[in-house]
Structure 1
Amino acid sequence: MAESIVVKCGGSTLKELSDSFFLSMKLLKDINITPIIVHGGGPEINALLNKLEVSSEFVNGLRKTTLEVLEVAEMVLTGKVNKAIVTKLQKAGLTSIGISGCDASLLKALPINKAQLGFVGQVTDVNSEFLQQLISLNIVPVIAPIGIDDEGNHYNINADTAAGAVAESIHAKKMIFVTDVPGILKNNELQKVVTVTEINEMINDGTIYGGMIPKVKAAIKCLQGNIEEVYIINGKGGNLMAGGELVGTKIVKVKELVTAESVKS
């Protein structure tokens, strides 16, 4: 099977994803790396909730999901947002299919805390065999983070959580975290490789501040299991590939030490 890489697209960046982003996904596929896209859709969900006058609140950063809120979230995520991404991928020359975690029980889930959060789920299992079948057919999966349990109940799942679970299930070693910034900047210079320790130091000294803090923290959360590298890239413009490499900041657990002896070997 070809190598796969999980691409997490946050809801706040979806409208700003450029044509070059989707062409970059095609370039990945051309070098035998299949992107698996997991997306959010918070702003679109908010807009429809407001339009329908459905009240919604956040508890510890997660949207409390009543059945009414769930219905709206599922409508937006599996319908409007999911199919918009599929359309743009196919325009870029990729055969793509939009699915939710309910299809083929892709994302099995259970409630995190039903009393506090309602139908907000945590992933308990991923149908990786189904993903492998799609990839073997040269299909790029686009996944909406709605999960399902054995009784057929549906759950709203945080997109970062869903992306991490998918990556772990297929033993991916890399993830791409798509945002609206080019990466981590220090003294106006793009940092090509940073460790988790260095990021924490930059948060403490104010180099990373404001809205960038939750972005890098979400990316760090993805460094679990087999995942060794997470790239923060800009989805808004510019060619994301340069010589076959992703342009942005690569976050690693620990930097490899390059010594004279290792170079000789």
Structure 2
Amino acid sequence: MEKIIVIKCGGSMIDDLSEKFFMDIKEMQDQGFKPIIVHGGGPAINRLLSDLQIESEFINGLRKTTEEVMEVVEMVLSGSITNKLVRALHLNGISAIGMTGSDSGLIQAKAKDFEKLGLVGEITTINHEILLKLLSMNLVPVISPIAISENSNGYYNVNADSAAAAIAVAVNAEKILFVTDVSGILKDKQVIETVSQHEVQSLIQEGVITGGMIPKVSAALKCLEGGMDQVMIVSGKTPLYREGQFIGTTILKEQKVVSF
């Protein structure tokens, strides 16, 4: 069975990914892993919207996406960011291919709430066969989270964390890494190496997990609910793979693991 690993890079991390990050992906390949990269791009989208003087608002953490906003989202996600990642991978000896979620119907979606959110999509289907074909050619897919509508007559902006989670479950990935600007889930400034689903909920209630980390662990929990056994929160600024081991916080499906 293929050892598929899905790596989700947040938009805020794209410019800060270290060279070691890409070297680590190459090492993963050498160890037999088949990486898939899914990326966001919120900060870059915000900058271009501001430059173009296009108004944008967030509702319950989701960007309301009008047709005008959607054009900018596609331009940034499927243009500059995807290309930047593909070039960086190539420079490190990794064959990669950039694609959007709408290519070959990779990510299909329906409107989440068109009246409130516009062209924000809720994922319904993942065409995992196209990904398996690309992986069999030793290519690393670099995916921007633009989905095609179920009837193929429109496009949606989908949450990158949700896209990564859905893809990981669909391809039966061995592991999914959510790349952040910290080394994992921290408590008292120390990385919690291993934690369970139940313990994650407690850490949120206690205020240990806050802010932007909440969507990451929420997506991680969805992966576990979808059938995966473990998910990791890792840093893109420091080594994430050393001597065959991933570095960060592992969230396990089991109800009880190592106490913290």
Normalised by the size of structure 1, how large is the TM-score?
A: 0.91
Is 1:176 equivalent to 2:177 in the alignment? yes
* CA shift for structure 1 position 223: 2.5
Moved over 6 A (4+): none
* 2:27 matched residue in structure 1: 27
Structure 2 residue ranges without an equivalent (≥5): none
Once the two structures are superposed, residues 208-237 of structure 1 have per-residue CA deviations (whole angstroms, 9 ceiling, x without a partner) of 345544443343333231211111111012
Once the two structures are superposed, residues 22-77 of structure 1 have per-residue CA deviations (whole angstroms, 9 ceiling, x without a partner) of 11111111111111001100000000000001111111111111100000000000
Please state whether the residue corresponding to 1:85 is helix, strand or coil.
helix
Structure 1 residue ranges without an equivalent (≥5): 259-265
Instruction: Kindly report which structure 2 residues correspond to 1:106-117, keeping only aligned pairs within 5 A, or say none.
Output: 106-117=106-117
Counterpart CA distance in 1 for 2:95 and 2:119 is 32
Counterpart CA distance in 2 for 1:178 and 1:92 is 19
Instruction: Kindly report which structure 2 residues correspond to 1:75-154, keeping only aligned pairs within 5 A, or say none.
Output: 75-149=75-149, 150-154=151-155
* CA shift for structure 1 position 108: 1.3
Please state whether the residue corresponding to 1:223 is helix, strand or coil.
helix
* 1:204 matched residue in structure 2: 205
Which amino acid in structure 2 is aligned with residue 163 of structure 1?
Answer: A
Counterpart CA distance in 2 for 1:198 and 1:225 is 18
Count how many residue pairs are aligned between Structure 1 and Structure 2. Answer: 257
Which amino acid in structure 2 is aligned with residue 42 of structure 1?
Answer: G
* 1:66 matched residue in structure 2: 66
Counterpart CA distance in 2 for 1:128 and 1:2 is 13
Once the two structures are superposed, residues 163-202 of structure 1 have per-residue CA deviations (whole angstroms, 9 ceiling, x without a partner) of 1111111112321010000112233332211112222223
CA spacing shift, 1:210–1:61, aligned 2, 3 Å: closer
Once the two structures are superposed, residues 135-170 of structure 1 have per-residue CA deviations (whole angstroms, 9 ceiling, x without a partner) of 000000000000112232011010011111111111
Counterpart CA distance in 2 for 1:64 and 1:164 is 22
Please state whether the residue corresponding to 2:94 is helix, strand or coil.
coil
CA contact (8 A) 1:102 1:148 kept: yes
CA spacing shift, 1:46–1:198, aligned 2, 3 Å: same
Deviation larger for 205-214 or 103-112: 205-214
Which amino acid in structure 2 is aligned with residue 154 of structure 1?
Answer: Y
* CA shift for structure 1 position 256: 6.9
* 1:51 matched residue in structure 2: 51
CA spacing shift, 1:256–1:202, aligned 2, 3 Å: closer
* 1:263 matched residue in structure 2: none
Which amino acid in structure 2 is aligned with residue 114 of structure 1?
Answer: F
CA contact (8 A) 1:145 1:159 kept: yes
* CA shift for structure 1 position 4: 0.6
CA spacing shift, 1:256–1:208, aligned 2, 3 Å: closer
Give the alignment's Cα RMSD to 1 decimal. Answer: 1.8
* CA shift for structure 1 position 99: 0.1
Deviation larger for 139-148 or 179-188: 179-188
Once the two structures are superposed, residues 104-154 of structure 1 have per-residue CA deviations (whole angstroms, 9 ceiling, x without a partner) of 111111111111111111111111111111000000000000011223201
Once the two structures are superposed, residues 61-100 of structure 1 have per-residue CA deviations (whole angstroms, 9 ceiling, x without a partner) of 1111110000000000000011101111111111000000
Instruction: Kindly report which structure 2 residues correspond to 1:156-167, keeping only aligned pairs within 5 A, or say none.
Output: 156-167=157-168
CA contact (8 A) 2:196 2:251 kept: yes
Counterpart CA distance in 1 for 2:175 and 2:89 is 20
Deviation larger for 28-37 or 218-227: 218-227
* CA shift for structure 1 position 206: 3.8
Which amino acid in structure 2 is aligned with residue 60 of structure 1?
Answer: N
CA spacing shift, 1:63–1:206, aligned 2, 3 Å: closer
